[in-house]
Structure 1
Amino acid sequence: MNMKVKMKFYIVLLNLLLLFTAVDAQPVLQYLHEGWSFRQAWGTNWYGATVPGTVHTDLMDNKLIDDPFYRLNERGVQWVDKEDWIYRTTFDVAPELLAKRNIVLHFEGLDTYADVTLNGKKVLAADNMFREWQADVRSLLKEHGNELQVYLHSPIKVAMPKWEAVPFQYRSSNDQSENGGLLNRKVGVFVRKAGYHFGWDWGPRLVTSGIWRPVALEAWDEVRIDDVFYNQKSVTANQAVIDVTVEVLSDKETEASVSVINRTDSRTECRKLIRLNKGMNKIPVSFTMKKPRLWWTNGLGEPFLYDFATTLELDGKQIDITEDKLGIRSLKVVTAPDEHGESFYFELNGKPLFAKGANYIPCDNFLTRVTDSIYEKTVQDAVSANMNMLRIWGGGVYEKDIFYDLCDKYGILVWQDFMFACSVFPAEGELLENIRKEAIDNVRRLRNHSCIALWCGNNECLDAWFNWNWKNTYDKQNPAYSDIIWKQFKDQYFVTLPAVVEEYHPGACYRKSSPYSDDKGTRNHTVGDMHYWEVWQGLKPLSEFKHERSRFFSEYGFQSFPEFESIKRYAPLQEDWNLTSEVMMAHQRGGATANKRINDFLLSEYRQPKDFRSFTYMSQLLQADAMKIAMEAHRRDMPYCMGSLVWQHNDCWPVASWSSRDYYGRWKAQHYFTVKSFADLLVSPIEDGNVLQVYIVSDRLKPTSGELKVCALRLDGGGIVKEFTRRVTVPANTSTVVWRETVDKLLDGANKEDVVIHVSYKDKTGKEYTNNYFLAKQKDMHYVTARINKDFVAVEGGYDVTLSCDVFARGVFLSLKGDIDNFISDNYMDILPGKPVTVRVTTDLPGLQFAERLQVTSFLDAVEL
């Protein structure tokens, strides 16, 4: 072997040695997700279990209970939450892990009361679904045959003595204790777990237990990185100043080196030599980025993410590394006095942002069934509907990391509630400390996400106290009780939670509640955010959505049924297909009158559907029209109003609800309408007395110009009654009236009931925005029978379907009988006379079956004539 070859050999050998030495120094992770079994605590039979998972899903997998979502099966599984359950597994430990000096057993989530033993010794007791739990287990582990057991206590049995010990009841408006066989014992407020598990007005009562998030052994030697926080102190287009806090856990006093590496730009932003003390060390480092690429929300620009890595070196060797994706942005919540009251809006990178979005609830009652692909579709559907914000509502969960990763990736801001909703809580002593630690865990976990827009103390708890007659009820019962609850309330939302945000996410906005105008729960339409329910709950006409004003609508909504093909999945029997059937009432949690309310609105605004299938279609069209009215009104009122978050984005089980996407992910009519209502440009006609005004609302950051057309079209295909065309300039980021004319001139003698007002705006790029406006209620419109022609051609992944009609066809709905695994690019659309519309249907059906199953429905097809 010559000298040159020898030298190359030794260099390769040295590199391999260094590589293996570096790898050996790194922390080691071993997930413990295999080999689990479970049983009832008093039983003897063990069954296979899935971890992460829940008791209910394991019972289903073993065919010990039927699917609770099917027909009336929810009623038959209420015994599950009153039992204790035991989970166990055995595992071996990899030698390289066992050789480490520190080994921790880490549960990312235990639901909810759990005693954990390892090799016969208790290592931890959990009492909060939202916290992470760790235990030092180095001394207990062996190489082979370790036994891990999790004893899950019934949340009902743990909470019941706490409920009984209080001389008054804590109000919890949506706890369905009666459905759970507990009479009026609303024990959910004593348990730190997802509130909706105890039932809600859109969800079942299914109180879960389980190892619901990953469990692993984490091992390391002398030091490791515990956490890294990127605090964006100052961000402009010219520079970003980032303060980084690196938390390092060390077994001893030693010297080390910390580096923050910008992998996107292949640059080390900062490197610092440090002296570590034994225990936790907080190491501050800072750097400045020149002309950073900024992160923008959906519709405003690219949600650009930088790849950062933080490394820890000891004696010249890399000991640990963490990786983060970071969107560089300036984000503020602006609340400043103005001529109306006080502003409330988000400012992104120095630009006022109109928040367009929805309220998000968990995608399933059994959270471990929510796959990454479901999260992807859920967030993508928000993006496709031109949303830029989702509000994670306080009765669910702090979501998995992937949800926030996707929101970062696609430019969706997150309004993050803490997990408290529509209740008062005994927040003192151990429970308040438990809440504090819960908040710390989740604020630390989520604070680096660019999508986090604000932290909110709770959903409607303040409003409930002052405006739902709760305070008055307690005052009459015993003023001392009222004083106790109000002190607990203030300690929780006015002291504890804001202190956590201030300490662990400095610079982030904290709101005490939603809605919120002041500490007295005042419903002030000129200050703060509003939850507007006067139409659905207050039975006001749909037209009220046009007139209601707020600085920010953080909730409003209207119910509908899922599509009929979706209904057949959970209610397949014909006897179920009527409004008052036991199954339909069980899958309607908005109260005994909710289905009747939908029907009453239909009769008031629309017409009588001819059968149940038609009712489901009409309910969706009604919901879509109602929310279209609201969304357009909110946007027209810009900049007085700067936010419109509809209730709600999704469902947790198959149900009639306020969602715009059903449990199976199918878009309702409302979601299709939202695409246009939340577009970057909205062309919106509205009557003001006898004058029709056309607004163009722009979210664009630059002005635009184009051609506006306004025309009155005869419904019977008889042509144009009157048409106006003009060039208009649309200012940036605001709402502007660009055209007005008297209704009489526009109608030119025609009846309101015989025409539709069609408006369109085409910008200089050729992109067209359209809208239709009706001058009379839908039930009074003189629609004529629409014979819709349909043609289709096969394309990759499905078919392009072209629809045309000689008359105006209202609310044209395409569906595929017996198949819900499809997607239609546009639906519930209006077809103008002589103007074909082409939509893409994504489906695996072969051509002949597609032709047989394709159904087309319009307004008159669904009503009694």
Structure 2
Amino acid sequence: MLQATPLTEGWILRHPDDPAEVLPAEVPGCVHTDLLAAGLIPDPFLGLGEKEAAWVGRREWTYETDLRAASAHERTDLVFDGLDTVAEILLDGRVLGRVRNMHRSYRFDVTGLSGRLAVRFASAYAEAEAVRERLGERPAAYAEPYQYVRKMACSFGWDWGPTLVTAGIWRPVRLEHWSTARIARVRPLVTVDGDTGVVELSVDVERARGEAPLVLEAAVGGVRAREEVDGARGTVRLRVPDAALWWPRGYGGQPLYEVELTLLRGDEVLDLWRRRVGFRTVELDTSADAHGTGFTLVVNGERLFARGVNWIPDDVFPSRITRERYRRRLAQAAGAGVDLVRVWGGGIYESEDFYDACDELGLLVWQDFPFACAAYPEEQPLRGEVEAEARENVVRLMPHPSLALWNGNNENLWGFRDWDWERRLAGDSWGEGYYLGLLPRVVAELDPTRPYTAGSPWSGSWDHHPNDPAHGTHHSWEVWNRADYADYRRSVPRFVAEFGWQAPPAYATLRRALPGEELAPDSPGMLHHQKADDGNGKLERGLARHFAVPEGDFDRWHYLTQLNQARAVAAGIEHWRSHWPVCAGTVVWQLNDCWPVTSWAAIDGDGREKPLYHELKRLYADRLLTLRARDGGLELAAVNQSARRWSGTLVLRRMSVQGVLLGETSVRLAAGARAVARIGVPGDLVPAGPEEFLVADADRLRALYFPVPDREVPYVPPEFDVALAPGGITVTARTLVRDLLLQADRLDPGARADRGLVTLLPGERVTIGISGWKTPDAEHARSALYCVEPLR
């Protein structure tokens, strides 16, 4: 039987400026992490350390170890699951091969060989610049040459990420010893036929020698089947009666079935392949209707409003991301009510650990092919690499029931139309042949069980603008860049695949990342950890539309910008969810960060949850109340995404900011399953001026409506009492306390609060759970509480 020997020990890294200087190397890993471990570069996440590590990506590096491939088997292969990115592989000076793609695996026959194994990495910059010289300049959103090399684009920096261009053996490497034959590839087509689950395994077999009779035996769900191998290929089909369906979270369970495939010669087991699958159907409804062209995911016949987040690589050094870290981050997403995670095209095809966690947690995966924000040449050497990586990764990820959608690229079709690319390209290739030709052909051939869309945003054809909100997917960035977040309410896109608002990370994250710095919005470290073009200017202008921008008070600025982020995202999601089924999904930019930075993330680079994260729990819950202006009055939308009808009593109260009840009524609330109910607010309950607001309560859910921005509201000074409670604190309001927030990490860097922003009316109380707080003290807790205050 095939035997695998991991090659994790004994690696060294040779410094390019002094080949005699040798560093211990960790494999899997990368040059940056090895240099960091050796103390040769500062931590690039701290202070201005990124600048001091910039030279690393411009150098050549060599990994070495001793290789002994001797075995009793007929064949030994050296297998690299991932090499980042441009490398020459040598054994005792003999070239085994050359590679130029981070997104592929590689296999070399080393039968009977031994000696010194060397992996020589060229600079990704040098490769990209050489390809650019050969194929010609192409436009991009950033000046770095990321579109000329098949590598994680955000290694070259982004508007939320550092420029740390990596090199290294970033995924596992091993020796595989085998005889007679091995399983080279398994392409599992998993479908549903009535109540029966169907698994069809198309198997490629590699033979060491001869044409010995071989048999494939497969088992799943108690069903077994055997088929002979015809030459180098075989197919096994299994039907599982009464198969339990896999559902996204919130719609049902996530039963997984283990498939075991065995390659046999007689009774001898030659190789074994195991994966888990789930039985479900997934479709994408892009039919035209009275509102334009839809974009609705349909799973097992159930039409979904997708509650999504965009995912970037969780570390700029992806070899550091463990199975546990994937699970922790994705569990945070599920805990916020998320049911779809979009793997963004400037990153990578993630590891099996990522998709395993999504399978288990019921998180649908929208998978971008790795193209983002640039015109990509379609000539060699890139075209062949693109097809090879697509074919490998489509088949690799096919077993996962969570994988719901393949997407050709991020923003490149839009860029061609709107970012002056067409004129600058003057007829040169730019990627259209990938997105509208090569990639849909590969998906249709290899994975016909899943839908494909050419890009995000994309209207479905060139008959409409690529980012037309009435057709297909839409990216809403005009608001963050130029307008107030209230403008989200001006349109109802069919599917909002990107939108978001920035805020700084948690206070403890800033203190760790910027040690010793006197924090200010424009202090050196803060500016360095703000990568967006005019990011602080946009933060300040967005804040000024709603609050008085605090001068010289960093703590207040920090709280208000985090509050504004949560408010902005809430404005969009509440509006768009209330327009289901015309709008069929929102995908917030973004869930996570890859380092400590001011960004659009809900979870910062140290894994701490911003107020936005907790706000998503409310916004993405099955049931949501929202109040909005309509036709000169007010309307309440009761969004019910649960499978049960929502019936109850809605209480509407018109209040003054002084806490006086000015009017009240109760009305019947009735919203069908997966539906939205709309209730008009009686005219006498509509706030009559800036000192009044409306409160709507039903089934412990609340919606608030203030008719003017906070800077125009004559708030009274907030008063509240704080007392210790088991596992946390209780806050009791004596006045209106709007958007109270406990920043638990100010109590202890390891402390976490179980909730975010909460508004209390006079006499109301809330208990906030706190974990990781070592020395509970009520007055200490008060110092970490923030809320909206009267205009100073």
TM bracket (short chain): over 0.9
1:662 aligns with one of 595, 600, 604? 604
**What aligned pairs does 1:376-775 form with structure 2 within 5 A after superposition?**
376-472=327-423, 474=424, 481-485=425-429, 488-520=430-462, 521-537=465-481, 539-575=482-518, 577-591=519-533, 593-609=534-550, 611-718=553-660, 720-737=661-678, 739-742=679-682, 744-747=683-686, 751-762=688-699, 768-775=700-707
2:266 aligns with one of 298, 315, 328? 315
Name the CA distance, whole Å, in 2 between partners of 1:722 and 1:292. 55
CA distance change for structure 1 residues 348 and 518 in 2, over 3 Å: closer, same or farther?
A: closer
2:110 aligns with one of 132, 137, 141? 137
Name the CA distance, whole Å, in 2 between partners of 1:371 and 1:241. 33
Residue 122 in 1 paired to residue 63 in 2? no
**8 Å Cα contact 1:253-1:276 kept in structure 2:** no
Q: Which residue of 2 aligns with 1:246?
A: 203
Q: Which residue of 1 aligns with 2:186?
A: 228
2:712 aligns with one of 772, 780, 784? 780
Q: Which residue of 2 aligns with 1:162?
A: 131
- Counterpart code for 1:729: A
**8 Å Cα contact 2:413-2:466 kept in structure 1:** no
**8 Å Cα contact 2:729-2:769 kept in structure 1:** yes
Name the CA distance, whole Å, in 1 between partners of 2:309 and 2:275. 27
Q: Which residue of 2 aligns with 1:4?
A: none
Q: Which residue of 2 aligns with 1:53?
A: 29
CA distance change for structure 1 residues 421 and 465 in 2, over 3 Å: closer, same or farther?
A: same
1:255 is paired with a residue whose SS is coil
Q: After the TM superposition, which of the residue ranges 75-84 and 156-165 deviates more from structure 2?
A: 156-165
2:57 aligns with one of 81, 87, 97? 81
Residue 369 in 1 paired to residue 369 in 2? no
Name the CA distance, whole Å, in 1 between partners of 2:712 and 2:498. 30
- Counterpart code for 1:174: Y
**8 Å Cα contact 2:748-2:773 kept in structure 1:** no
Name the CA distance, whole Å, in 2 between partners of 1:286 and 1:45. 56
2:169 aligns with one of 205, 211, 227? 211
1:527 is paired with a residue whose SS is coil
Backbone CA RMSD of aligned residues: 2.0
Cα distance, 1:92 vs structure 2: 4.9
CA distance change for structure 1 residues 65 and 118 in 2, over 3 Å: closer, same or farther?
A: same
- Counterpart code for 1:560: A
Name the CA distance, whole Å, in 2 between partners of 1:544 and 1:864. 24
Superposed CA offset, 1:61-92 (max 9, x none):
10001011111111122111111111112255
Name the CA distance, whole Å, in 2 between partners of 1:634 and 1:30. 52
Cα distance, 1:523 vs structure 2: 3.2
Q: After the TM superposition, which of the residue ranges 391-400 and 818-827 deviates more from structure 2?
A: 818-827
**8 Å Cα contact 2:747-2:784 kept in structure 1:** no
Query: Unaligned stretches of 5+ in structure 2?
Result: none
Residue 38 in 1 paired to residue 13 in 2? yes
- Counterpart code for 1:783: Y
- Counterpart code for 1:37: I
**8 Å Cα contact 2:457-2:473 kept in structure 1:** yes
Superposed CA offset, 1:711-758 (max 9, x none):
22333333x322222332211112221x2124x4005xx654333322
Name the CA distance, whole Å, in 2 between partners of 1:415 and 1:580. 37
CA distance change for structure 1 residues 248 and 760 in 2, over 3 Å: closer, same or farther?
A: farther
Cα distance, 1:518 vs structure 2: 3.9
2:242 aligns with one of 274, 286, 291? 291
Q: Which residue of 2 aligns with 1:801?
A: 729
Cα distance, 1:464 vs structure 2: 0.4
Cα distance, 1:380 vs structure 2: 0.8
Name the CA distance, whole Å, in 2 between partners of 1:340 and 1:548. 12
**8 Å Cα contact 2:507-2:746 kept in structure 1:** no
CA distance change for structure 1 residues 522 and 318 in 2, over 3 Å: closer, same or farther?
A: closer
Name the CA distance, whole Å, in 2 between partners of 1:319 and 1:697. 55
Q: Which residue of 2 aligns with 1:21?
A: none
CA distance change for structure 1 residues 547 and 864 in 2, over 3 Å: closer, same or farther?
A: closer
- Counterpart code for 2:121: L
**8 Å Cα contact 1:685-1:695 kept in structure 2:** yes
1:38 is paired with a residue whose SS is strand
Residue 174 in 1 paired to residue 142 in 2? yes
**8 Å Cα contact 1:817-1:854 kept in structure 2:** no
Task: State percent identity of aligned pairs.
Answer: 30
TM-score using structure 1 length? 0.88
Residue 840 in 1 paired to residue 769 in 2? yes
Cα distance, 1:777 vs structure 2: 1.0
Name the CA distance, whole Å, in 2 between partners of 1:207 and 1:333. 37
- Counterpart code for 1:655: V
Q: Which residue of 2 aligns with 1:274?
A: 228
Query: Unaligned stretches of 5+ in structure 1?
Result: 1-25, 176-185, 475-480, 763-767
- Counterpart code for 2:548: R
Superposed CA offset, 1:356-394 (max 9, x none):
111110111111222222211210111011011011110
2:354 is paired with a residue whose SS is helix
CA distance change for structure 1 residues 507 and 785 in 2, over 3 Å: closer, same or farther?
A: same
Name the CA distance, whole Å, in 2 between partners of 1:259 and 1:706. 56
1:153 aligns with one of 88, 104, 122? 122
Q: Which residue of 2 aligns with 1:179?
A: none
Name the CA distance, whole Å, in 1 between partners of 2:665 and 2:174. 68
1:558 is paired with a residue whose SS is coil
**8 Å Cα contact 2:282-2:300 kept in structure 1:** yes
Q: Which residue of 1 aligns with 2:754?
A: 825
Q: After the TM superposition, which of the residue ranges 390-399 and 517-526 deviates more from structure 2?
A: 517-526
1:573 is paired with a residue whose SS is coil
Name the CA distance, whole Å, in 2 between partners of 1:297 and 1:773. 33
**8 Å Cα contact 1:250-1:276 kept in structure 2:** no
Name the CA distance, whole Å, in 1 between partners of 2:66 and 2:779. 55
**8 Å Cα contact 2:184-2:204 kept in structure 1:** yes
Residue 260 in 1 paired to residue 218 in 2? yes
1:241 is paired with a residue whose SS is strand
Q: Which residue of 2 aligns with 1:5?
A: none
Cα distance, 1:490 vs structure 2: 3.0
Q: Which residue of 2 aligns with 1:7?
A: none
Name the CA distance, whole Å, in 2 between partners of 1:39 and 1:855. 51
Cα distance, 1:221 vs structure 2: 1.2
2:288 is paired with a residue whose SS is coil
1:356 is paired with a residue whose SS is strand
Cα distance, 1:429 vs structure 2: 2.4
Name the CA distance, whole Å, in 2 between partners of 1:726 and 1:864. 35
Dislocated runs of 4+, deviation >6 Å? none
**8 Å Cα contact 2:311-2:341 kept in structure 1:** yes
CA distance change for structure 1 residues 229 and 37 in 2, over 3 Å: closer, same or farther?
A: same
Q: Which residue of 1 aligns with 2:2?
A: 27
Name the CA distance, whole Å, in 2 between partners of 1:616 and 1:196. 27
**8 Å Cα contact 2:747-2:780 kept in structure 1:** no
Q: Which residue of 2 aligns with 1:202?
A: 160
Name the CA distance, whole Å, in 1 between partners of 2:317 and 2:257. 34
Q: After the TM superposition, which of the residue ranges 418-427 and 581-590 deviates more from structure 2?
A: 581-590
1:421 is paired with a residue whose SS is coil
**8 Å Cα contact 2:659-2:736 kept in structure 1:** yes
- Counterpart code for 1:820: P
